[in-house]
């Protein structure tokens, strides 16, 4: 007996207009709002890269423009803008996330985010360059990092 189909949220590729709206919000918030220091936990293991951050409640986060498909694990309550009405993610979600997105997260509670994708990268910088051309703007350049590279 099969269980009923589950409607899973997904983060689709964004239109150029939707990306432009997130960039405009990002530019405005960088100019006028204090920026939270958000540490990044990196894991390279078994041909996969996992990148984890924790957002405090009330935090607004714009991500880098992601150029490849990933899995995104979201634990907590957040609204996510990818174009159109914001998507509400509540609780624990494992989300297929398409290439071509620069989403805006609004943390309604403490939110843990982990992005995972296959890679042959041997360093964090190589992995970052694989998923975005905006790697110079990532939190990991200016905030605490914890790095684990297993060699497996």
HSE (CB half, 13 Å, CA atoms) of 1? 2
Secondary element (H or E) of residue 19: helix 16-32
Could you tell me the pTM of the whole model? 0.90
Q: Which CATH class is domain 16-149?
A: mainly beta
Q: Is the pLDDT of residue 2 over 80?
A: no
For the chain, the structural domain boundaries read 16-149
- pLDDT, tens only, 14-58: 999 999 999 999 999 888 887 878 999 999 999 999 999 999 999
Mean pLDDT of 57-76: 95
């Amino acid at each position: 007996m099969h269980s009923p189909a589950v409607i899973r949220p997904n983060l689709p590729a964004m239109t150029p207009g939707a990306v432009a709206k997130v960039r405009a919000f990002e530019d405005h918030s960088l100019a006028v709002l204090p920026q939270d220091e958000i540490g990044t936990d990196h894991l390279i293991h078994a041909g996969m890269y996992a990148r984890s951050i924790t957002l405090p409640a009330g935090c607004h986060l714009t991500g880098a423009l992601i150029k490849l498909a990933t899995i995104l694990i979201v634990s907590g309550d957040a609204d996510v803008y990818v174009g159109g009405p914001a998507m509400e993610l509540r609780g624990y979600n494992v989300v297929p996330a398409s290439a071509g997105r620069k989403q805006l997260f609004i943390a309604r509670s403490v939110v843990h985010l982990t992005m995972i994708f296959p890679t042959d990268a041997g360093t964090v910088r190589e992995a970052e360059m694989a998923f975005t051309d905006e790697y110079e703007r990532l939190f990991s350049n200016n905030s605490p990092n914890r790095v684990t590279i297993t060699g497996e």
